[in-house]
Amino acid sequence: MSSFLTLRVRTFLLMLLTIVVAFLLTGIFSLYHFRLENRNYHFERLERKEKAILSHIDYLTSNNQNKGLLATQWKPILSGKVTEISSIHKLDVGIYTSSGDLITASVLKNGSLTIFPGRLTEYMEDSAKSRGRKVTNEGNFLTSTSEILGKNNRVELVVRIPYEIDPSAIPKEDVAFLRQLLLLYILLFVIGITFAFFFSNYISNNIRLLIDQLKKVRINKSNEKLTWRLNDEIGELIQEYNVLVDKLETTAIELARSERESAWKEMAQQVAHEITNPLTPMKLTLQMMQRETDVTEMKSMSTHLLEEIESLTNIAEAFSRFAQMPGLKAESLDISYQTNSAVSLYIDRGVTFVSTGPVYTKVDKGQWSRIIHNLLKNALQSIPEGSKAAVEVSIEKTQDKAVVIIRDNGTGIPQQMQDRVFEPNFTTKSSGMGLGLAMVKNLIENFGGTINFSTGDHGTAFTIELPLTNIK
């Protein structure tokens, strides 16, 4: 689905469609209602006028009823009156005998006598079964046929009244009402659109709030919970989010504890391994000292013991330095100068230095020298025996960073070991504790920088990036 049809847009369109459909159905029902009202209006109006006309004719013919007059006898009596009746009531009128023969008719409104047949054959056939008023719909005419009764309920005359209607026409009062209703619909439509817009935004904004909060979720820190005052679907979703936050925090604590325990186990194994190495020769030396009586041999063994003890001391100091870094005294220094001073000690071992000039960044002077010495020792130790060392240290600066690269021509780091280069107990050498690169990474990150490496069959390059200060 197109990204345009977001939840907010779909909600808005659905509500808008509901409003439009409701208005259309209401409009269709109203139109049907008014057409029905219009039809009923014409039927009732015809009935009222018909009663008035029948009363009028009954009054005019009351003296001649019950005489059994023929059509020819009724004609002179009614011919002059039918036009008067039609004019007064503004409707054409046709008068027939009780046998259905036309006596006379007016042509005031309809302009012809075609609507008044000479004989009411169909009506007379129906009347033979049941007498009374009959209304038929013929085109645009409602035609009512009624009887005037004399004494003994005998049919004296039959009156036919055509009433012209316009089925599509609506009375003026109904037209005015429809206009008012249309204005009300327009107002309600505008209100409905506004409500749909704000309601769709309300829903989407609350979901967006949850999405933004989910983006902020981190494993290694306390995450903020959300509150919702309604017990609805969004409230249920937020409640599940809060439960997830609690579970995530618990999992993070357990994971951190597990990582610490794992790290300490690995460290303990490393320390035990490194201490065990010199302890074995020390034990053998002491056993020999118990058997030897020669003073010279005793001195030689004592010297060996002191060397092994010194080795143990160095191991303990190395772990101590890694576990507890000294307080850093960072200051803005020209690391080009500081690096050159450290590299000068390795000039005779195949190390060269290249710099574009002074590069100022904020570091601890002593720890920076320690970083350079450590990386240079690693670079020199990676070079195979019998090969000539070619280690290059270069410093340059970009727009906002100082870039230091230590590149060697050693054997490179094996693929299976590259992911563990900066781990505390990692080393590719037969001796040492594998704390050098871990310490370097820790120090550089404390300076606000980063360290990465690239390696291959022809050597390894470590790249350090630090933010510039006091750029000159």
pLDDT score of 266:
66
| CB of 424 closer than 8 Å to CB of 263 | yes
Specify the range with the lowest mean pLDDT, choosing from 42-51, 207-216, 414-423.
207-216
Could you tell me the pTM of the whole model? Answer: 0.39
pLDDT score of 391:
92
pLDDT score of 281:
59
pLDDT score of 458:
84
| CB of 281 closer than 8 Å to CB of 440 | no
Domain ranges within the chain, ordered by starting residue: 7-172, 233-323, 330-467
Residue that wins the pLDDT comparison between 388 and 136: 388
Residue that wins the pLDDT comparison between 30 and 163: 163
The phi-psi region of residue 279 (left if phi > 0; otherwise alpha if psi is between -120 and 50; otherwise beta) is alpha
pLDDT score of 431:
43
| pLDDT over 90 (residue 405) | yes
Q: What are 278's two structure tokens?
A: 């010199």
Q: What are 298's two structure tokens?
A: 């005793």
| pLDDT over 50 (residue 433) | no
Residue that wins the pLDDT comparison between 169 and 299: 299
How much of the chain exceeds pLDDT 70, in percent?
70
The SS3 of residue 426 is: coil
pLDDT score of 426:
46
How much of the chain exceeds pLDDT 90, in percent?
9
The pLDDT tens digits for 199-240 are 777 777 777 777 777 777 666 666 677 776 767 666 777 777
Cβ-based neighbours of 116, under 8 Å, separated by 6 or more: 92, 94, 102, 105, 160, 162
| pLDDT over 80 (residue 79) | no
Distance CA 70, CA 72 (A): 5
Widest CA span of the chain, in angstroms?
A: 179
DSSP one-letter string for 299-336: HHHHHHHHHHHHHHHHHHHHHHHHHSPPPP-EEEEEHH
pLDDT score of 450:
92
CATH match for 233-323 among 3.40.30, 1.10.287, 1.10.260, 2.160.10: 1.10.287
Which residue, 410, 409, 408, 338, is CA-closest to 370? 338
The pLDDT tens digits for 159-207 are 888 888 765 556 666 667 777 877 887 888 888 788 877 877 777 777 7
| CB of 96 closer than 8 Å to CB of 158 | yes
Same fold yes or no, 233-323 and 330-467 = no
- Would you state the CATH architecture of domain 7-172? 2-Layer Sandwich (3.30)
| pLDDT over 60 (residue 60) | yes
The pLDDT tens digits for 107-148 are 755 544 567 888 887 777 665 555 678 888 776 778 888 888
- Would you state the CATH architecture of domain 330-467? 2-Layer Sandwich (3.30)
Residue 432 — very low, low, confident or very high, per pLDDT cuts 50/70/90? Answer: very low
